[in-house]
Amino acid sequence: MTAVEIAKGVFWVGAIDWDIRNFHGYETRKGTTYNAYLILDKKTVLVDTVKEPYKETLVENISKITSLEKLDYVIVNHVEPDHSGSLEHVMQHAKNAIIVTSKRGKDELEKYYSTNGWNFQVVKTGDEINLGSRTLTFVEVPMLHWPDSMFTFLKENMILMPNDAFGQHLATSQRFDDQVDQSLLMNEAAKYFANILMPYSLLIPRKIEEIRRLGIEPKIIAPSHGVIWRSNPEKIVKAYIDWSEGKTRSKAVIVYDTMWGSTKKMADAICLTIGNRGVEVHLFNMRKSDYAEVLKEILESKAVILGSSTLNSSMLPSISAFLTYVIGLRPKNKIWACFGSYGWGGGAVRTIMEMLKAAKFDVIEPTVQVQFAPSREELKMCRDLGQKIADAILGSANTKGQVALKEVEENDIED
Ligand code: FEO
């Protein structure tokens, strides 16, 4: 993919990574892109670079428009190596370029690279650089999602370049939002938010407000991963506000692993009960599912139910690893429950509950635990847990039709 002009004198010069399938633990089944932007004015500017293996692609794309030697500024919105990995290569040619970054950005660049001889210009929120006929404005956005993170706004073209924010891990030959399937796009944007930005949810509405107060109302949002939002940038901004406020719908996610099938039977009983109440429910066996997809489903869910067989007085490793991951992402406005099976001493349910409570998650009790294999009575306990969760999701209103559904459900369950 060669350079693409996204507005007069503004070019996408990035790279498409069709192959990547894991981004520090985030399974990227659709690959990704590393977007960099070139602005031609009296001054020539490169906004961000690309991951190091794609440095020649970046240089080739730039070379079709200008030469690296002519760069006056290189903006580093974010130091993570998927965006700064080609910086040393660029700076070997762009000897006169000034690197524009936040204070933390400069500190981090000096840790990552040999910066001897590089000229820096440290910027803070509201600072501007005049390019001739156009102006760049900078906004610091610390912890969205690194301390160094910064947005760059090209004022006259009303293009916001927010680096990771509003991105999607989506490799495509298309560069714009209106050229790709909308449900795929929002799915990947939601997955990206859930797995990268969710821990910083509190900051997002505040930052969006601050940006609006600065008079920044972008017509185009050009992130550093995935496609560029040009048809309706407000759509992704609104989605970010909803997700960061923890907006949920009538939906539950069950995540489990099973040793000999007992915990699976329990999971199936809970799943069927919740589904029969008209609640959207997703069931994931964590030994066969990827974290990123599960987190995307959790994002708008009201309930998360965790199940595990006991192994060595604790939960199965897939559930332990997943719990560590999900607790770190701090999902908001959920209720949590758990269930599991054991042979003799038990431990899975206890250790899951300890972790949920230590994370200060809102937990529904009692849990359901069964020895070896669930009896009819114990499967009824699982269905009761499912009813309780459905009640909590639906509130007290939706009782009509519940009896009929319950009858169907009891006949549906294989003990
Ligand atoms: Fe796309 Fe935080 O790097």
> Domains in the chain and their CATH numbers?
4-244 (3.60.15.10), 249-414 (3.40.50.360)
Backbone angles phi, psi at 85, to 5 degrees: -60, -25
Among this protein's residues, is 83 annotated catalytic?
no
Smallest CA separation from ligand 1 atom 1, residue: 164
Give the helix, strand, coil percentages of the chain, each rounded to 5.
40, 25, 40
Alpha carbon distance 142, 207 (integer Å): 10
Mean pLDDT of 224-250: 97
Q: Which of 287, 364, 352 is nearest to 326 (CA)?
A: 352
| Residue 332 · residue 201 · CB < 8 Å | yes
Q: Residues 6 or more apart from 209 whose CB is under 8 A from it?
A: none
148 within ligand 1 shell (Cβ under 6 A):
no
Binned at pLDDT 50, 70 and 90, residue 397 comes out as very low
The average confidence (pLDDT) of the chain is 94
30 within ligand 1 shell (Cβ under 6 A):
no
In 167-311, DSSP assigns E strands to 220-221, 251-257, 280-285, 303-311
| Residue 126 · residue 138 · CB < 8 Å | yes
Cis before residue 145, ω within 30 degrees of 0?
Answer: yes
Mean pLDDT of 21-47: 97
Alpha carbon distance 197, 352 (integer Å): 24
Q: How far, in Å, is the centroid of ligand 1 from the Cα of 69?
A: 26
| Residue 170 · residue 189 · CB < 8 Å | no
Q: How far, in Å, is the centroid of ligand 1 from the Cα of 396?
A: 43
Active-site residue, selected from the candidate residues 83, 145, 169, 282: 145
Helix (H) / strand (E) element for 297: namely helix 291-299
Binned at pLDDT 50, 70 and 90, residue 404 comes out as very low
| DSSP state, residue 178 | G
pLDDT at residue number 1: 72
Q: How far, in Å, is the centroid of ligand 1 from the Cα of 386?
A: 39
pLDDT at residue number 396: 44
Residue 293 reports pLDDT greater than 80: yes
Q: Is 300 helix (H, G, I), strand (E, B) or coil?
A: coil
Among this protein's residues, is 225 annotated catalytic?
yes
Among this protein's residues, is 93 annotated catalytic?
no
Other CB atoms closer than 10 Å to residue 372's CB: what's the count? 11
Alpha carbon distance 148, 207 (integer Å): 15
Report CA Rg, the chain. Answer: 25
User: pTM to 2 decimals?
Assistant: 0.93
Active-site residue, selected from the candidate residues 17, 48, 82, 148: 82
**Using one digit for the tens of pLDDT, what is the confidence trace for 126-181?**
999 999 999 999 999 999 999 999 999 999 999 999 999 999 999 999 999 999 99
Counting residues of the chain whose pLDDT is more than 90, the rounded percentage is: 94
Among this protein's residues, is 169 annotated catalytic?
no
**Using one digit for the tens of pLDDT, what is the confidence trace for 191-217?**
999 999 999 999 999 999 999 999 999
* Closest atom, ligand 1, to C-alpha of 81: 3
